[in-house]
């Protein structure tokens, strides 16, 4: 499927990955409609950071994914849907599990219902590596058992299963992208890499939670390319694709690497309030992207050192946008 000249809806368009996806869609000649959560300020999130000529080419619609009528209206005359909209912060899900569940699960149901009734040509649903929980084996392929170790991961497991059920029950042309830990410019301090960089730029010590868990980090442009490959590949329908680097690194080693790249000695303070509950902590994530390589001909291009240098440069130029004094969830 060619995305050029297609009417494309992106839910969660104002978020970190969503804003990068929107930017690339416009570059590729798609007609992009952005679904944004309503606020009285008509807040467009990170879309405001896109070039003016890009912003002029997108259509913004405001609402709430939990409202079926709003979702249906936003999806009229749409050919392709990239469904990224969700509440993603794991610490936030501990505090507000009902809101997270309703947004991520009911919101996904509303998107799938509208796509079915409007006969959308393709839906790309966004999962997360968090659905796997702590690795039972590595590398982790798409057959790895799902483990709901946080309210957030449980909500995403539910959303994934709704998407799968609509493919099985209604032959809805849906495919699932399962990104591992995405990082890059524009990411907020709710994620560990911007937290480390922004604190290292402004403080003598870095406050973090657990340092031993490992993660598989993928630069945002590689992740976005994975979304495009899924959208363009007819064979992707009905399948789930891990989008990750096949390289794991512990949080502690990541901090040391960032410190070296920044030319700074960093002292880490482990704060209890930043730690996940013991049984909820995902101890290890390491991607197996074999299916994406074989079916989509996708693999990451940006090595972690290069991606971190780009991210350090961007955050350094936008440090005023980061709150480095408080714990951001």
User: Residue 244: how many CB atoms within 10 A of its CB?
Assistant: 29
H or E element at residue 253: helix 251-262
- Map residue 311 onto helix, strand or coil: helix
Q: Which of 92, 94, 152, 183 is catalytic?
A: 152
152 is catalytic: yes
Give the residue from 52, 65, 54, 58 showing the smallest Cα distance to 12.
65
Place of tokens 């992009």: 32
Pairing type for strands 58-63 and 7-11 reads unpaired
108 to 83, 133, 138, 222: CA distances (angstroms): 8, 21, 29, 24
- The CA distance from 124 to 64, in Å, is 19
Rounded CA gap, 119 and 166, in Å? 12
Measure the CA–CA gap between 236 and 257, rounded to whole angstroms. Answer: 36
State how far the Cα of 45 lies from the Cα of 223, in Å rounded to an integer.
20
Tokens read off for 317: 């130029």
The DSSP letter of residue 146 is: P
Q: Which residue has the tokens 């809806």?
A: 9
Residue 267's φ and ψ, nearest 5 degrees, are -110, 130
Side-chain-side CA neighbours of residue 137 (13 Å):
6
Task: Give CA separation, 156 vs 86, 131, 281, in Å.
Answer: 9, 7, 16
Over its C-alpha atoms, the chain yields an Rg (Å, rounded) of 19
Determine phi and psi for 16, rounding to 5 degrees. -60, -65
Q: Which residues are catalytic, by number?
A: 152
């Amino acid at each position: 499927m060619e995305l050029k000249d297609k009417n494309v809806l992106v839910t969660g368009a104002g978020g970190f990955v969503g804003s990068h996806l929107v930017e690339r869609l416009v570059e590729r000649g798609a007609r992009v409609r952005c679904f944004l959560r309503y606020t009285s300020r008509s807040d467009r999130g990170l879309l405001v950071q896109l070039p003016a000529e890009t912003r002029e080419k997108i259509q913004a619609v405001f609402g709430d994914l939990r409202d079926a009528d709003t979702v249906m209206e936003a999806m009229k005359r749409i050919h392709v849907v990239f469904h990224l909209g969700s509440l993603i912060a794991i610490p936030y899900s501990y505090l507000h599990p009902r809101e997270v569940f309703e947004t991520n699960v009911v919101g996904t149901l509303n998107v799938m219902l509208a796509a079915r009734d409007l006969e959308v040509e393709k839906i790309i649903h966004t999962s997360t590596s968090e659905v796997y929980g702590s690795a039972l084996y590595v590398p982790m392929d798409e057959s790895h058992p799902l483990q709901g170790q946080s309210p957030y991961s449980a909500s995403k497991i539910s959303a994934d299963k709704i998407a799968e059920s609509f493919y099985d029950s209604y032959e809805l042309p849906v495919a699932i992208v399962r990104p591992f830990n995405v990082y890059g410019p524009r990411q907020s301090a709710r994620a560990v890499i911007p937290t480390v960089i922004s604190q290292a730029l402004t403080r003598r010590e870095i406050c973090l939670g657990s340092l031993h868990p490992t993660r598989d980090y993928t630069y945002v442009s590689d992740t976005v390319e994975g979304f495009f490959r899924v959208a363009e590949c007819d064979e992707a329908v009905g399948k789930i694709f891990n989008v990750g680097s096949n390289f794991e690194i512990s949080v502690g080693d990541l901090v040391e690497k960032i410190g070296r790249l920044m030319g700074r000695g960093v002292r880490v303070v482990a704060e209890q309030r930043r730690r996940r509950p013991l049984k909820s902590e995902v101890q290890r994530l390491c991607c197996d992207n074999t299916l994406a390589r074989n079916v989509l001909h996708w693999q990451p291009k940006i090595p972690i050192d290069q991606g971190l240098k780009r991210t350090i440069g961007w955050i350094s130029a936008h440090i005023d946008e980061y709150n480095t004094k408080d714990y951001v969830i």
